[in-house]
Structure 1
Amino acid sequence: MLPARGQGVHRLAGHTPAVSVTTAELAPSEPTAPPTDTSDGLSPARRWERLALALLLLGTAAAYLWNISVNAMGNSFYAAAAWSGSRDWKALLFGSLDPGNFITVDKPPVSQWVMGLSGQLFGFSSASMLAPQAIMAVGAVALVYGAVVRATVSRGAGLLAGVVLAVTPVVALMFRFNNPDAVMVLLMTAAAYCTVRALPRASLRWIVLAGVALGFAFLAKMLEGLMVLPALGLAYLIVAPTTLRTRLVHSLAALGALIVSSGWFVLLTILWPADSRPYLAGSKDNTFMDLVLGYNGFARYLGKNHMGGGSNNPFELPEGYQIPEALKQGGFGGGGFGSGPDRMFTGEIGFEISWLLPAALVAFVLVLLSRGRRPRTDLIRGSALVFGLWLVIDSALFSGMKAGMHAYYTLAVAPAIAGCVAIGAHEVWRRRAEAFGRAGGAVLILSAGIWGFVLLQRNSDWQPWLRWTILAATVIAAVGLLVLALPPATRWDRERNRATTVLLIAGVLASLAGSTAYAAATLPQSHTGGSPTVGPARPKPSGPADQFRRQISMLMGGQTDPNLVALLEQTDTEWSAAIDRSSPAAALELASRTPVLAIGGFTSADPAPTLPQFQTMVRNHEITYYLIPEVKLPDSWRVDKPADSSTPAQPNTPQGIWHPAGNKEIFDWVTAHYTATHHFGDMAVYDLTEPAH
């Protein structure tokens, strides 16, 4: 019988050796970097593990693809670009809003490539546009599963990571929607997976592939796609088992791959003649990097992104009227969430992403504490750094954003939460026979259960039994684990271990219940517009201010009166009509399936077209109609005329009618030389083919 590990001595067949070797020296220590493929020790998946993974991926696909057309065209802004890309190759390449290639959407085109190509292959429809998004969810689940399995050599932990991601409400929302966030997060997750693969052996190939993935994430949503970069770079520099010099060289190679995989498109926009490509929406000078650094970059942190005043200020009413301050505070379109350290836990953001956020932070700390004395190259701790730093850095950046913030942006940290929770749960499971594992598991479960209760309490009319069930189950599991963490009597060790196992499993399942229920409630709801929300349907406010806000929202999002649509369908010019802002132009395109020119881009602040350009297009008979919304203002909003008012009265404006024009130069020129020939609903129609007067 062999002596105890670390104490006994092996002797060679009947001889007294000259050198004694302890069992501890012969026995392999716990690997600091678990093997990365089956030939190196990651054993082939057992039958139940293969079946569980198949059920996870098929279940995700079924849930996300089921009745996906309930979201119709989702965000019409991006749907119009997908429709344009399904009709024209240049529109597909640049992400043009219209097949006439006048202006792009305000994001790079990777997402439009996917949806536009699907439309070319299968015909453009809601299903052909949204189904690729749902398939991306399956890919993201598979990647986070693979990353955690590689990190922990535990397929159970990988399955938990995949489940956590799939049942996160914002994931259930945005992977069935047509915003660029889905493809961006898929690519960010791919970069994290490649980084985890690179860590055990300081693999140049895998870290370069991570750079390639991030390059295309940049081409999906610019700087937001790179928010994970510091986490991946730091994890590799800290953990990779090679010299610091080699780690730095590898990091520079990955950075080079990122620049090449994203820079080719930037270079394309520079080399392609500006007069033969669409205007790059959101930029002030028709350059890609101005869009990156300005409108979609630092402007969001300086509070100068959406609706920045001037000619495109939606609150600039005709002279003699003033919008109530309370309605101003409600906001028309900037994603009005107060910035600060609690942003990730409050309001709609809390419902979309924060269910397991406290547990993920606890899990990250637990892994760091548990493996604090491990070698620098410890893979489990290194992988925890990948996901934990991703979560902390991105959450801090979102919390500091002052303008242009939408709750669904937090989709970018969903894989990080899944990875942290799974790796942390694996660590307490591995140490479940010890006080650390039991106490750590109790804290992990309790943090998720209590926060789930708090979130459900905010919507207390919906399934009130659920929050109390979650609270009771997680508290019981946590208290039980804390009791079991007390010094044990030897004869009860086996029973205590069994109880620990049951409590950990029950506690984790209860912790997932709130997020799962809210994700399940999200799936059947119809989500359209620029700021979709999660959870069950909620009643809409019905006060006068709310009615006016909805009217403005409809006008900003597009007026699709059937008579107006029929009128546009009969046109044969390059653009059937021109209208301020991209969102109403997109809605009209989708309704009439005709190109509509969006004046000024998304916020109407883009200098395209200029008045001379517009006049030339009218003279060349490239546009048939000019459309302008008409809003009846409440009499209660009338104020005395300011003595020193410098706001010019809008021409041809009847008393109490507001024309929220973005480009007032074009509006003034059209209304001075043409007469409205039709009024459909809240839209005035000017026929630009009639002789000017």
Structure 2
Amino acid sequence: MKKLSLKKMDWYLIGILALAAFLYGWGIWDAGSANSYYTAAITSMVQSWHNFWYGAFDPAGFITVDKPPIALWFMALSAKVFGVHGWSIVLPSVLAGIGSVALLYKLITPKFGPWAGRLAALVMTLTPTVVANSRTNNMDAILVFFLLLAVYTLTKAVSKKKFWLVLIAFALVGIAFNIKMLQAFMILPAMLVFYWVAIKLPWKKKVLWLLAAMASLGIFTVAYPAAVDSASSTSRPYIGSSQTNSLMELAFGYNGTERLLGQTSGTGGTFGGMGKSSKKTAGNGAAPAGTKPGGTKNNSKAAPTGTGTTGNAPTGNAPTGNAPTGTAPTGQGQTGAKNGAPTGTKPSGSKKGGPSGTKPNGKMGNPGKGGKGGMTGGGNSAFAIGSAGPFRLFQSDLGSQIGWFLPFAFLGMGAGWWAFRKKGGKWYSISEEQSDVLLWAGWFVPVYGFFSVASFFHPYYTIMLAPAIAALTAIGAVAIAKMVKEGGEKQGMIAKALLAVTIVATTALQAYYAWSYYPLASVIIVLLGLAVAGLWFVNKIIATKLKIVLSIIVVALLSGFWALTPTLSHTSAAIPNANPSLLSSKGSSDMGGSVDSELLAYTEKHQGSAKYLFATTDSNSASGYIIKSKKAVMAIGGYNGTDPTMTLAQFKKLVKSGQLRYFVIGNTKASTGDISKILSWVKKNGTKVSYSSSKSSSQSTGMQMGGMGGSGNSTLYDLSSAAK
């Protein structure tokens, strides 16, 4: 049995992993509810295997969240072991982030050497959006880990020519599909090209293995959705954010074409500031009111019970806490939006509270700018994704989160392909190193293209680019070093010139992102970039190793500071981002997790034998109650308030059976179809309740439903008289 030698350990890597652990994990004890929408689901999932399997949003299993539950399974298991705390639900993302850094090192080192692996790991660690994503309970950090694991498995399969490893590699992409659906398939072009050019097999065997790999991908992709969709709608939760109560429809609709086109689920409209149709949206970023839900309603089926035994709507215990306030959280770089849902309120800004890389005035940009739509404002706005086009990722909105090393990524594709070519070989002869360049370029280019044209995503989704940018940056660096060392005087000068231009371009881009916060620092970083670039043309005075160290420090300085801001502020946000505005306030906030204690006390006291503490329009109006009380609140319209979960007749039956006594009406702007009919019926037949001890609250019912669900005063209705 071999003993682990301390001398063989890569202490540089260990230091980078320690840095990642600090950046991703420090202060997560202040995570609070992080993304309360998913935290509510985790709270529900730890209560029963039924809820765990389906990813139920509420303890009664009435409706699911808007994604498959695999990432939530890890979080729920952590919560089951350690209890439901902010840090325990965030812990799986922290570990996934660290694991991604380690996997990237393992992927780059075999072909390009340990220094390339270390550089890739460092760039990944210091990418701001990676830090922000690894500190919250959204799915993205875990998704990236599984995708890197798939690519790592494929590289092993290619080098060892192992059929079963090929199957596992593509199966892992299928599993990743059940984390965040079609987003996982973005790397399939890279894997397919790499497999085809890199594996040394007879072409017939190569084709057969590939067909088997596609079958493996297909099986692991559809197995879970098929199992869920085949279950009776009366024995499982309604599939949140779908219009036909189908997980497959959710994958290709709300989480598929709607992401590209900027449409909102169930409204047929688009979000304000998203894509070409931004001018057609309703105010305040909410979905247009009065539009007919898209898709076929599933009204012929009974409302889901969550119990598997009856056709009635699910029941459960009431949540404790306070109703959401409706005030957007400040200082946390978020506007009260979640994975692709409308905010319902306009984001507000304050001095230096604006998005990173733009003037911090907190104002929204011009939707439809340049005819392409989009918003300005950087990472501080949930929908600030810039103007669509080939340079969108260089703009401050997205670039301040992901763009810090973009020039080096482009250098890596070009210089990497040239420096590692087979000299004297035929033009179509590809070296092992070039096959890896194809792999990372194949990851980078399609994802870059998607974010350049898509209309419906958040800035933090760009973490999908982080591994490819980090890998290509490292490949570009070693490619330049190889060209300088082996290419002769002329090629060496060209290589140095390429490196110098890339350093200057990178520092200038970073200065652009930082200018609105730190003009002086921006000037200094550009001057340092020029100085370091010039050093590469000074021979025999400064050692090459020192030039390399100075270059890395200068290029990573501002990115490292940006990446540090969520850590220093202990932020675990529902809309993860990194920028200096976080430093003005400490701790995390979410978009719908606050509750009204007086409403809670009143409804708990008078709940009686009813299953639900109350029903409300949308998930963010219910999440805080579920988290605090671990009891059931019905989010009748799902996340956006537009899901056709039941008909008015089914709702009346639920009330008449005594399972539901109270209803809280908050946001109604996005409500359409049967949901709108239900709200009208509640207003007409319910009795308004004054539950607050304060004068102002007793007059207005004292509650603001916040977060994505909407804003404005909300009213508590007692439906017991309507049940008679």
TM-score, length basis structure 1: 0.79
Q: 1:382 aligns with which of 412, 425, 435?
A: 435
Is residue 2:311 matched to residue 1:267? no
When residues 449 and 77 of structure 1 are mapped into structure 2, their CA distance, relative to the original with a 3 A threshold, is farther
Q: Does 1:293 align with 2:252?
A: yes
The 3 A distance-change label for structure 1 pair 558 and 139 is closer
Specify the alignment match of 2:461 in structure 1.
Answer: 409
Measure, in 1, the Cα distance between the counterparts of 2:365 and 2:445: 34
**Offset of 1:85 from its aligned partner?**
1.1
- For 2:10 and 2:100, locate their aligned partners in 1 and report how far apart those are by CA, in whole Å: 18
Q: Secondary structure at the match of 1:626?
A: strand
Give the letter for the 2:238 counterpart. Y
1:398 to 444, 451, 455: 451
Cα pair 1:137 1:186 within 8 Å, conserved: yes
> How many residues in Structure 1 have an aligned counterpart in Structure 2?
594
Q: Over alpha carbons, which structure has the higher Rg?
A: 1
Give, in whole Å, the separation in 1 of the partners of 2:666 and 2:288.
Answer: 14
Aligned counterpart, 2:652: 615
The whole-number CA distance in structure 2 between the counterparts of 1:206 and 1:442 is 42
Tell me by how many angstroms 1:574 deviates. 2.4
What is the alpha-carbon distance in structure 1 between the residues aligned to residue 689 and residue 267 of structure 2?
33
* Sequence identity percentage: 27
In structure 2, the partner of 1:688 is 719
Give the one of 600, 604, 614 matched to 1:565.
600
In 2: Cα distance, 1:241 partner to 1:64 partner? 40
Shift of 1:676: 1.2
CA contact (8 A) 2:562 2:579 kept: yes
CA shift for structure 1 position 303: 2.9
Q: Residue in 1 aligned with 2:638?
A: 601
Cα shift at 1:271: 2.8
> Counterpart of 2:644 in 1: which secondary structure?
coil
Correspondent of 1:676 among 675, 679, 688: 688
Distance 2:257 2:288 in 1: 25
Report 1:2-41 matches (<5 A).
none
Q: CA deviation at 1:666?
A: 0.7
**Partners of 1:581 and 1:604 within 8 A in 2:** yes
Asked if residue 361 in structure 1 is aligned to residue 414 in structure 2, the reply is: no
Greater mean alpha carbon deviation, residues 106-115 or residues 675-684? 675-684
Deviations 1:461-508 (A, max 9, x none): 534444334323332232232465xxxxxxxxxx37x63333233212
What letter corresponds to residue 587 of structure 1 in structure 2? G
Distance 2:247 2:265 in 1: 18
Query: CA shift at 1:146, angstroms?
Result: 0.3
What does residue 677 of structure 2 align with? 665
Distance 1:327 1:666 in 2: 36
Change beyond 3 A, Cα 1:219–1:568: farther
- Deviation string 1:353-405 (CA, Å, 9 cap, x unpaired) is 00001211111110112223356452211111111210111110121212x21
SS in 2 for 1:195: helix
Cα displacement (A) at 1:519? 0.1
Query: Which amino acid in structure 2 is aligned with residue 110 of structure 1?
Result: I
Q: 2:611 is matched with which residue: 555, 565, 574?
A: 574
Query: Per-residue deviation at 1:526?
Result: 5.1
Q: Aligned residue for 1:636?
A: none
**Residues 615-656 of structure 1, C-alpha deviations (whole Å, 9 max, x = no match):** 1211122223211127xxxxxxxxxxxxxxxxxxxxxxxxxx
Q: Do the aligned partners of residues 664 and 592 (structure 1) sit closer, same or farther apart at CA in structure 2, a change above 3 Å counting?
A: same
What does residue 127 of structure 1 align with? 87
2:12 aligns with: 52
Partner of 1:181: 140
Secondary structure of the residue aligned to 2:21 is: helix
Residue 95 in 1 paired to residue 55 in 2?
A: yes
**Is this contact kept in 2: 1:282–1:295, CA < 8 A?**
yes
Q: Does 1:627 align with 2:641?
A: no
Alignment partners' CA distance in 2, 1:365 and 1:535: 31
Q: Which residue does 1:420 correspond to in 2?
A: 472
Q: What's the TM-score once normalised by structure 2's chain length?
A: 0.76
Q: Paired residue for 1:204?
A: 163
Q: Distance in 2 between matches of 1:315 and 1:142?
A: 41
Q: How far apart, CA to CA, are the structure 2 residues paired with 1:447 and 1:45? A: 39
Unaligned ranges ≥5, structure 2: 271-280, 291-344, 347-362, 368-373, 376-380, 691-700, 704-712
Q: CA RMSD in A?
A: 3.1
Matching residue within 48, 60, 67 for 1:107: 67
Matched with 1:136 is 96
SS of alignment partner, residue 159 of structure 2: coil
- For the Cα contact (< 8 Å) 1:106–1:281, is it kept in 2? yes
Please tell me the residue identity of whatever aligns with 1:356.
F
Change (3 A) 1:326 1:692: farther
Provide the rounded CA distance (Å) in 2 between the counterparts of 1:70 and 1:232: 39
Change (3 A) 1:437 1:517: farther
Give the letter aligned to residue 158 of structure 1.
G
Corresponding letter in the other structure for 1:386: L
Amino acid at match of 1:408: Y
Q: Which runs of 5+ in 1 are unaligned?
A: 1-38, 485-494, 541-552, 631-657
